[in-house]
Amino acid sequence: GAVVSQHPSWVICKSGTSVKIECRSLDFQATTMFWYRQFPKQSLMLMATSNEGSKATYEQGVEKDKFLINHASLTLSTLTVTSAHPEDSSFYICRPAGGGAGNEQFFGPGTRLTVL
Amino acid sequence: AQKITQTQPGMFVQEKEAVTLDCTYDTSDPSYGLFWYKQPSSGEMIFLIYQGSYDQQNATEGRYSLNFQKARKSANLVISASQLGDSAMYFCAMREGYGAAGNKLTFGGGTRVLVKP
């Protein structure tokens, strides 16, 4: 299957700091990237959809000024959590559109963010 | 209204037995796709199986099969011969339409499966 990486895999930061999460599609080009958030024991919730070279589209209730998404190239998208607070602690997962030979949709391995 | 519903929050299954995980969906789009993913404690999302709305036959992938009942809008996952490594969270997801919009996935609440030795 397609290879998708995320960095870092986990991060602990102090409240008020900003954290950048990178998502790379290593063996295919992704014009569209989806970012999800998953709280403990809950399902994945779509945060935003980004297209290479254009502004991201955010889901209702997601603050675009808090979760900055940049999709500058076909293989790299970044999510920056600005001025993180403990309630932002979550598991963040990216999913580049495509990449599968058939109908598979592959995800990044996820980034666990803990804000103290 | 919920687009994807998984009514079983958790279930036990005996090793080597089969287990069925329920998933119902709601869409008015004639073109859609249904996915099942496995999420072990590590958090990675592992693709298991896919069923397209126009597929005539139920999808199968090794020990995984999808019981697709279109009229009932259900897409249950059957895991045969359960193994201890099958213990994980399982998510049903749906894609509506084609193209860029068709790549958006909506997830159900998940079912936690624990395989007992």
Helix (H, G, I), strand (E, B) or coil at A21: strand
Q: Report DSSP state, residue A104.
A: -
Question: Where do we find the tokens 């490594």?
Answer: B85
pLDDT tens string B67-95? 999 999 999 999 999 999 999 999 999 99
pLDDT tens string A40-93? 989 999 999 988 888 899 999 999 999 999 988 888 999 999 999 999 999 999
Q: Is the dihedral of CA A34, A38, A42, A45 positive or negative?
A: negative
The C-alpha atoms of residue A34 and residue A42 are separated, in whole angstroms, by 18
Contact assignment for B103 to A32 by CB distance below 8 Å? yes
Give the closest residue to B78 by CA, choosing from B87, B69, B66, B68.
B66
**Parallel, antiparallel, or unpaired: how do β-strands B10-14 and B111-116 relate?**
parallel
Question: Where do we find the tokens 């126009």?
Answer: B54
And the tokens for A54? 């254009």
User: CB-side exposure of A39: number of CA atoms within 13 Å?
Assistant: 7
User: One digit per residue, pLDDT tens: chain B, 117 residues?
Assistant: 679 999 999 999 999 999 999 999 999 999 899 999 999 999 999 999 999 999 999 999 999 999 999 999 999 999 999 999 999 999 999 998 766 555 788 999 999 999 999
Q: Report DSSP state, residue B23.
A: -
The C-alpha atoms of residue A63 and residue A48 are separated, in whole angstroms, by 10
Interface of chain A toward chain B, CB-CB under 8 angstroms = 1, 31-32, 34, 38, 42-46, 49, 51, 91, 93, 95, 97-98, 100, 102-107, 109-110, 112
Question: Which comes out higher in pLDDT, residue A99 or A52?
Answer: A52
| Radius of gyration over every alpha carbon of chain A, rounded to an integer in angstroms | 13
Contact assignment for A44 to B91 by CB distance below 8 Å? yes
DSSP assignments along B82-115, one per residue: --GGG-EEEEEEEEESSHHHHT-EEE---EEEEE
